[in-house]
A and B are shown apart, each in its own frame.
Chain A
Amino acid sequence: MMAFVYAGLIWAAGWWINARLAHSNVADTRLVSLAIPAIFGATILLMWQVLVTLLEVSPIILPAPIVIGERFVSSTSLLWADFKQTILKGALVGYVLGMIAAFVVALLADRSEFLTRGILPVGAFMAALPIVGTAPIFVKWLGSDWQSKAAVVGVMVFFPILVNTVAGLKDTSAMQRDLMRTYGAGYWPSLLKLRLPAAMPFIFNGLKIATTLALIGAIVAEFFGSPTVGMGFRISTSVGQLALDMVWAEIVVAALAGSAFYGAMALIEKRVTFWHPSQR
Chain B
Amino acid sequence: MGCVRGMWMRNLWAFIPGLTVVAAILAVWTLAVIPMNAHLAADMAARGDIVVTPKAPADRKALSGVTLAAKNPAIMAMTYTLERPRLPSPHQVAGELYKTVFATAPTSRRSLVHHAWVTLSATLLGFAIGTTLGILLAVGIVYNRTMDKSVMPWAITSQTIPILALAPMVIVMLGSIGIQGLLPKSIISAYLSFFPVVVGMVKGLRSPDGMQLDLLRTYSANNSQGFWKLRLPASMPYLFTSLKIGISAALVGAIVGELPTGARAGFGARMLVGDQYGQPLVTWAALFGAAITAALLVGILSLIERQTLRRMGMEAAV
A residues adjacent to B (C-beta < 8 A): 15, 18-19, 21-23, 27, 33, 36-37, 39-41, 58, 60-62, 114-119, 121-122, 125, 128-130, 132-134, 136-137, 139-141, 211-212, 215-216, 219-220, 223-224, 231-232, 235-236, 239, 242, 244, 247-248, 250-251, 254-255, 258-259, 261-263
Interface pair B275/A133, CB less than 8 Å apart? no
Question: If A211-B160, A220-B164, A223-B168 touch, does A121 touch B18 (CB 8 Å cutoff)?
Answer: yes
A-facing residues in B146-161 (Cβ within 8 Å): 146, 148-154, 157, 159-161
CB distance from A200 to the nearest CB of B (A): 20
| Residues in chain B near residue A235, CB distance under 8 A | 165, 168-169
Residue from A39, A130, A136 having most chain B Cβ neighbours under 10 A? A130
Interface pair B22/A122, CB less than 8 Å apart? yes
Contact of B208 with A by CB under 8 A: no
Question: If A130-B248, A212-B161, A259-B160 touch, does A61 touch B177 (CB 8 Å cutoff)?
Answer: yes
**Distance, CA A250 to CA B286, complexed state (A):** 30
**Distance, CA A162 to CA B291, complexed state (A):** 19
The 4 closest A-B pairs by CB, nearest first: A118-B17, A40-B150, A262-B160, A118-B21
**Distance, CA A22 to CA B17, complexed state (A):** 52
Interface pair B255/A130, CB less than 8 Å apart? yes
Contact of B260 with A by CB under 8 A: yes
Q: Which residue of A lies closest to B290 (CB)?
A: A130
| Residues in chain B near residue A261, CB distance under 8 A | 160
What's the count of A-B pairs with C-beta under 8 Å?
167
| Residues in chain B near residue A114, CB distance under 8 A | 17, 20
Q: Which of A36, A136, A212, A250 contacts B275 (CB 8 A)?
A: A136
Residue interface bits B288-318, CB-to-A below 8 A is 1, else 0: 0011001100100000000000000000000
| Residues in chain B near residue A134, CB distance under 8 A | 287
**Distance, CA A212 to CA B164, complexed state (A):** 10
**Distance, CA A245 to CA B196, complexed state (A):** 28
Interface pair B260/A219, CB less than 8 Å apart? no
Contact of B2 with A by CB under 8 A: no
Question: DSSP majority for the A interface?
Answer: helix
| Residues in chain A near residue B17, CB distance under 8 A | 114-119
Interface pair B149/A133, CB less than 8 Å apart? no
Question: If A117-B17, A251-B165 touch, does A137 touch B287 (CB 8 Å cutoff)?
Answer: yes
Residue interface bits B235-249, CB-to-A below 8 A is 1, else 0: 000000000110010
Interface pair B271/A60, CB less than 8 Å apart? no
Contact of B145 with A by CB under 8 A: yes
**Distance, CA A223 to CA B145, complexed state (A):** 41
Question: DSSP majority for the B interface?
Answer: helix
| Residues in chain B near residue A60, CB distance under 8 A | 176
Question: If A22-B150, A125-B295, A261-B160 touch, does A231 touch B165 (CB 8 Å cutoff)?
Answer: yes
| Residues in chain B near residue A247, CB distance under 8 A | 168-169
B residues adjacent to A (C-beta < 8 A): 14, 16-22, 25, 86, 145-146, 148-154, 157, 159-162, 164-166, 168-169, 172-173, 176-177, 244-245, 248, 251-252, 255-256, 259-260, 267-268, 271-272, 274-275, 280, 283-284, 286-287, 290-291, 294-295, 298
Interface pair A259/B161, CB less than 8 Å apart? yes
Interface pair B287/A133, CB less than 8 Å apart? yes
Interface pair A130/B21, CB less than 8 Å apart? no
Sample (22) of A-B pairs whose CB atoms are under 8 Å apart: A19-B146, A33-B153, A60-B176, A116-B17, A122-B18, A125-B295, A129-B291, A130-B251, A130-B291, A132-B252, A133-B267, A136-B271, A215-B165, A220-B165, A220-B259, A224-B259, A224-B275, A236-B260, A247-B168, A248-B169, A254-B162, A259-B161
| Residues in chain B near residue A136, CB distance under 8 A | 271-272, 274-275, 283
**Distance, CA A147 to CA B60, complexed state (A):** 24
Question: If A141-B86, A211-B160, A219-B162 touch, does A133 touch B260 (CB 8 Å cutoff)?
Answer: no
Q: Which residue of B lies closest to A232 (CB)?
A: B165
Interface pair B160/A133, CB less than 8 Å apart? no
Interface pair B161/A22, CB less than 8 Å apart? no
**Distance, CA A261 to CA B259, complexed state (A):** 26
**Distance, CA A137 to CA B86, complexed state (A):** 9
Interface pair B160/A254, CB less than 8 Å apart? no
Residue from B18, B162, B173 having most chain A Cβ neighbours under 10 A? B162
| Residues in chain B near residue A262, CB distance under 8 A | 160
| Residues in chain A near residue B298, CB distance under 8 A | 125, 128
Interface pair A129/B149, CB less than 8 Å apart? no
Interface pair A22/B154, CB less than 8 Å apart? no
**Distance, CA A121 to CA B168, complexed state (A):** 34
Interface pair B149/A37, CB less than 8 Å apart? yes
CB distance from B162 to the nearest CB of A (A): 4
| Residues in chain A near residue B25, CB distance under 8 A | 122
Interface pair A115/B160, CB less than 8 Å apart? no
